[in-house]
Structure 1
Amino acid sequence: MSKKKNKSKTLKNEPSSLHLFDQIYNNPHFHDIVFLIGKEETKAYGHKLVLSMNSPIWKGMFYTQEWMETKGREECLVRIPDLDPKVFLGFLEWIYTRKAKISHTTIYGIYKLAHKYCMPDLKQYCTVRFRKILNGRNCLRHAERSVIEGISKWHKISLKYLMQNSKKFMNNGKCFAGLREETVRTILEMKNLNCPEILLFRALKYWAENIQNDLIKKNKTEIYERILINPDQKKITARKLVKKYLHLIRLDLMDFKNYNELIKSGYYDHRILLKEGFNVVKKFDLKAKTKSRSGPQLSDSKILLIGWCRSGETHVNDLINSLKSGGIENVTHMDPTVSIPSLKAMQRYDAIVVRSSNVNSFYKGGNLGSNLAKYVDEGNGVIVIAINTLINNPEKQIRGKFQNQNYIPLKIAERERSEQCSLGKVFKPNHPIMRDVKTFKCKEYSHFIKTNDLNGGHIIASWDNGYPLITEKRRNDNSGIVVCLNFHPISTRITNDCGKAWLQETDGNLIFSNTLSYLIKDKLSKLAQKNPKKKIFYKK
């Protein structure tokens, strides 16, 4: 036995064949291909066999009959004039050694080469490295460049880093300097930056004034590329640029001192605010401190969608996109015709959305209802899509304790197909679900459950024909909230031929995102009550 152990130990210490390649990396001896990189034609030495082992693209290129006939089997030259030698050498180094010196100047070029030559491991390596090189000085630049280079994953990583560390480098009012206008707008539109609004205003002001000065001193064509204004328009001033985005500065999160600074800057017209009914004395508590943009942080939350549609993945994906519209990234779909999630599985999620289709949708519906009831009793929130789920057909209903003990804020009834309906009376205009919701309408006709029996719940808004559109119910102080959305959940984004779909230009996405935000915030407040000494943060 000891001999076998020693033998395996010896074999384990032997270098792998891949690690032996680092001895021939960019070695002028024994190569069979030479790359001439850049305008100065910097030489890089390679081996067709090694390159082919790492990339199917090279494999297909080197061993085609055309390549063999034109280049031959001897040493051949490949010119790449439009590439930085440092980028290609870093790319080549990783192929031979599985490590490379990647800097913030070469990382984009190496990633694009990895994408071009179908090398997912190198793309992942670059992404890990990208996370490490992010800091307060370069975060905004990378957020901008990742969009230009078309790497959406890195853009999301940059914005997430910005959100988590915004207070550190937003103190520098010059942090927006040199950014493109699209980037500035994206940052100002973020709903959960952890920094005072006055810092955002200072950064916006400095950026606009910097643009104005650059138009005088520098090449105007270069500056026009950074802003979203037609060069043929009249004179571009800092005031016009600031005014364009002042509506994104949240006055309601400022204290009186910061509000005064904003007014004295001359960019904000105090008289217009007074005309709009903004009562400064009533609004500001002089002892109050500044706040950061708050509210439930949705992007890290996990949502479970339990539902099936006979129209297949297209309809399911449209509903998932609606749920993601508020910033959620993690939505898991479970097909209830195959299996029902256990309570333990449900507990991994921050909220659950349930819908059935116009065919039999729930496998062992009783189990689903019992598990959902326990999930709500623990303080979690559930959204029930009323269409089909609450019609007079037991096989399409959730059933179990969830239905039998009246957890749902709407009674079982017949489904109604009506002429085109729209948002009617809003009974609770200040309710979080109705925040910024102005319109909601279906394309040609509306589907809804025809009942006014709220099952002990409360109505938030109705259709213009008087039937409930949005209702909610909380069984007791410790339980979660169940919200019932009484409309067909699919939008005209993908179903232009479907008359019952809600119009995508109305506020359907906002209703979904506000509802999830409301349920998750309620859950967090309960956790805070249970653990008053423990600070609970919900990061994006």
Structure 2
Amino acid sequence: MSGGISEILKNCVNQEKMADVELIVGKDEVRFQAHRFILALVSPFWRSKLYTEGWEKQETKGKITIKLPELDPKLFGMFLEFAYTRKVTMKNNVVFELWKVADQYGVPQLKQYCADLFEKTLDATNCINFYEFGVTAGVEEWKVSAMDYIKGNTKQVLSNEECFVGVKEETVQSILDIEKLYAPEINILKALVRWGKDKKEKEFPNDEGVTFRNILKNFVPQIKLDLMSFTDLDYIKETQIYGPNDLLQIAVELANNFKLNIKPLTRAGPQIQNLKVLLLAGARRGTNRLEHLKGTIMSGGIEMVDIIDISATAVTFEKMNEYDTIVLRSQNGVDMVENMRLGNDLARYVEGGKGLTVIAINSLINTDGHRVKGRIVDEAFIPLAVAERVQQDERELGEIHLPEHPIMEGVQSFKAKDYAHLIGTQDINGGTKIASWNNGFPLITEKTKQESFGTVVCLNFHPMSTQITNDCGKAWLRETDGAKIIANSVQYVGMKIYKN
């Protein structure tokens, strides 16, 4: 029988034939047909409602009728579809509401389904709403994921015209409290203005005692005007949140910066969003892990990361040279296309003054097809030698040899889930150790062969976090600072091209 029991149940969704429950949902009394035993199997709420005396229900000729006037028919239809098929035809704009229904009905599988959809659809247009819902629902994982996205994509988030509109004051403050915001300060101001105007219009439309300026009074002192440019002055004036004396002082300071050719900064330091990064990586396990690594690279504020699958495509030197910096990451079980030529071209790229970040696992593993070859290895550009891959029980950050190094900025901890997965050698090809594992093996190293060359950084750990691969013992714990190490490394070698 084609499809089996799952196909049979799929064909039973909202079918009157043999149904023994009719549910009348919403103010418009939309009618749904269901089966008592199906609802009772998936939901303790419905098990109690259908099989316990005392609930308000009617029973006629063996069919129970229940009214649910307070529930949205669309949401109930999705719940019913999941009850029968374990799948939902759903857009992400109702994931919050459906999660609430799943919580009310006690269906953890549907709650997890919503959580998985949340992870897949998180973007600049919905991340703040997802964060707020995580706070309301008490789902810490949702809060953390949403805030991580906001931190890594602040400029895109704040540039969204709907950003901050309708959100809570506590949420606005949580975003402003982020230690580093990789976004121009003018974007932050514009988002606050949108929030204040929306709040005034919706909550105090006719209250002359509550002004737009009053609403923003707690946030205005947090705006860092010294990080703006002279060309932002017209907008600052238009906001009407600064008095005449304040505007005069602001104008003088910004004019001086303009004359001195001081470029505005972000709260995280020099603007680095315009770095063009190329991720050269294998895709044996599909694109999810590559997208995860891309997101990790972007978490420090870089806006543009392109991916080329080096297990399927031969990359030309001309293509490489379109980018400011490159990240190389091979995968076990995947052979690089033309790995000899790739290594020769990467050496030319570094000789041209551009930086390279090498994920040692598995780019330097002592396996013929999986690793990079050519001059980049033979002439010791990379500060780690080719060797066997090993696993170690000691699996966390050990000695930090250069604590003031830019790559270590903000790094407090780093730990793999169950075991360290690394290239087992102490040979760093004349490079410099920045940090080591607590088993003594190199964790982060760097090398610049000649003054005119770019810098190569080698990261000797598995680049995936438990956010995407929680069942993998070699992944680094997402609550530690693996993302900072990776993002800082890419920024560090990339910014070298602007050193003079």
What TM-score, normalized by structure 1, do the two folds share?
0.49
2:309 is aligned with 1:320: no
Q: Corresponding residue for 1:451?
A: 425
- 1:483-504 per-residue CA deviation (whole Å, 9 max, x = no partner) reads 0000011111121111111111
Structure 2: distance between partners of 1:473 and 1:404: 15
2:277 pairs with 1:306? no
Query: Measured at CA, do residues 446 and 146 of structure 1 come closer, stay the same or move farther in structure 2, by a change above 3 Å?
Result: closer
Task: State how far apart, in whole Å, the 2-side matches of 1:328 and 1:514 are.
Answer: 10
Corresponding residue to 1:191 among 178, 181, 187? 181
> Which of 352, 370, 392 is residue 378 of structure 1 equivalent to?
352
Are the aligned partners of 1:460 and 1:470 in contact in 2 as well (CA < 8 Å)?
yes
Confirm or deny: 8 A CA contact 2:283 2:309 kept in the other structure: no
**In structure 2, which of residues 435, 447, 453 is the aligned counterpart of residue 479 of structure 1?**
453
Distance across 2 between alignment mates of 1:146 and 1:361 = 37
CA 311–158 in structure 1, closer or farther in 2 if over 3 Å, else same? closer
> Which residue pairs with 2:315 in the alignment?
341
Residue 411 of structure 1 corresponds to 385
Give the equivalent residue in structure 2 for 1:159: 158
361, 368, 376: which one aligns with 2:342 = 368
Distance 1:314 1:144 in 2: 21
**Cα pair 1:388 1:396 within 8 Å, conserved:** yes
Q: 2 CA distance for matches of 1:460 and 1:146?
A: 34
Q: How much has 1:155 moved relative to structure 2?
A: 9.1
**Structure 1 residues 352 and 430, CA, compared in 2 at 3 Å: closer, same or farther?**
same
Quote how far apart the aligned CAs of 1:409 are: 0.2
1:367-418 alpha-carbon deviations (Å, 9 max, x no partner): 1011101111111111111112212223222111111111000111111111
Distance apart, 1:148 and its partner CA: 6.7
Q: Quick one: structure 1 residues 471 and 219, their matched pair in 2 at CA, closer, same or farther if it must change by over 3 Å? A: farther
Contact 2:283–2:331 (8 Å) recurs in 1: yes
- Deviations 1:7-38, CA, capped at 9 Å, x for gaps: xxxxxxxxxxxxxxxxxxxxxxxxxxxxxxxx
The answer as to whether partners of 1:304 and 1:332 remain within 8 angstroms in 2 is yes
Aligned pair in 2 of structure 1 residues 512, 219: CA closer, same or farther (>3 Å)? farther
C-alpha change, 1:452 and 1:195, in structure 2 (3 Å) is same
Q: Shift of residue 314 of structure 1?
A: 2.4
Which letter maps to 2:344? S
- Which residue matches 1:100? none
1:400 corresponds to which of 374, 377, 394: 374
Distance 1:342 1:450 in 2: 31
Superposed, which structure 2 residues align to 1:209-224 within 5 Å?
none
The alpha carbon displacement at 1:480 in A equals 0.5
Of residues 312-321 and 476-485 in structure 1, the stretch that sits farther from structure 2 once superposed is 312-321
Q: Is the 8 A contact 2:280 2:308 kept in 1?
A: yes
Q: Is the 8 A contact 1:356 1:362 kept in 2?
A: yes
Change (3 A) 1:365 1:296: farther
CA contact (8 A) 2:384 2:429 kept: yes
Q: Separation in 1 of the partners of 2:363 and 2:130?
A: 45
Trace 1:501-520 onto structure 2 (pairs within 5 A): 501-520=475-494
Q: Which runs of 5+ in 1 are unaligned?
A: 1-111, 113-142, 163-175, 227-236, 254-288, 530-540
In the TM superposition, residue 341 of structure 1 has moved relative to its aligned partner by 1.1
RMSD: 4.7
**How do residues 231-380 of structure 1 correspond to structure 2 at under 5 angstroms?**
292-293=265-266, 295-380=269-354
Q: How does 1:489-500 map to 2 (within 5 A)?
A: 489-500=463-474
Aligned residues of 1:380 and 1:519 also touching (Cα < 8 A): yes
Partner residue, 1:441: 415
Aligned-residue sequence identity (percent) comes to 38
CA distance in 1, matches of 2:125, 2:323: 32
Match of 1:372, SS state, is: helix
Alpha carbons 1:307, 1:361 under 8 Å: kept: no
Distance between the aligned counterparts of 1:145 and 1:238, measured in 2?
23
SS of the aligned residue for 1:323 comes to helix
Structure 1 contact 385–486 (Cα < 8 Å) conserved: yes
Q: Tell me if the contact between 2:125 and 2:160 (Cα under 8 Å) persists in the aligned partners.
A: no
**Deviation of residue 523 (structure 1)?**
1.1
| Structure 2 equivalent of residue 91 of structure 1 | none
Is the 8 Å Cα contact of residues 279 and 308 (structure 2) preserved in structure 1?
yes
**Structure 2: distance between partners of 1:301 and 1:291:** 16
Q: Using the TM superposition, give the Cα deviation of residue 300 of structure 1 relative to its aligned residue in structure 2, in angstroms.
A: 2.8
Distance 2:350 2:129 in 1: 44
Displacement of 1:360: 3.8
Alpha carbons of structure 1 residues 295 and 478: separation in structure 2 relative to 1, 3 Å = farther
- The alpha carbon displacement at 1:347 in A equals 1.1
1:428–1:249 CA distance, 2 compared to 1 (3 A): farther
What SS does structure 2 have at the residue aligned with 1:369? helix
- Distance 1:405-1:249 versus aligned 2 partners, 3 A rule: farther
Partner deviation per Cα, 1:169-200 (whole Å, 9 max, x = no partner): xxxxxxx999953345535646355569xx98
Contact 1:144 / 1:183 at 8 angstroms: preserved in 2?
Answer: no
Task: Determine helix, strand or coil for the equivalent of 1:394.
Answer: coil
Structure 2 counterpart SS, 1:393 = coil
For residue 369 of structure 2, give the secondary structure of its aligned residue in structure 1.
helix
Question: What is aligned with 1:523?
Answer: 497
How many residues of Structure 1 are paired with residues of Structure 2 in the alignment?
314
Which secondary structure does the structure 2 equivalent of 1:398 belong to?
A: coil
Aligned-residue offset at 1:339: 2.2
Report the residue type matching 2:399 in the other structure.
Answer: K
In 2: Cα distance, 1:179 partner to 1:302 partner:
33
CA distance in 2 between counterparts of 1:249 and 1:487 reads 39
- Gaps spanning 5+ residues in structure 2: where? 1-92, 94-123, 132-148, 228-261
**Cα pair 2:448 2:454 within 8 Å, conserved:** yes
Tell me, in whole angstroms, the C-alpha distance in 2 between the residues paired with 1:358 and 1:486: 15
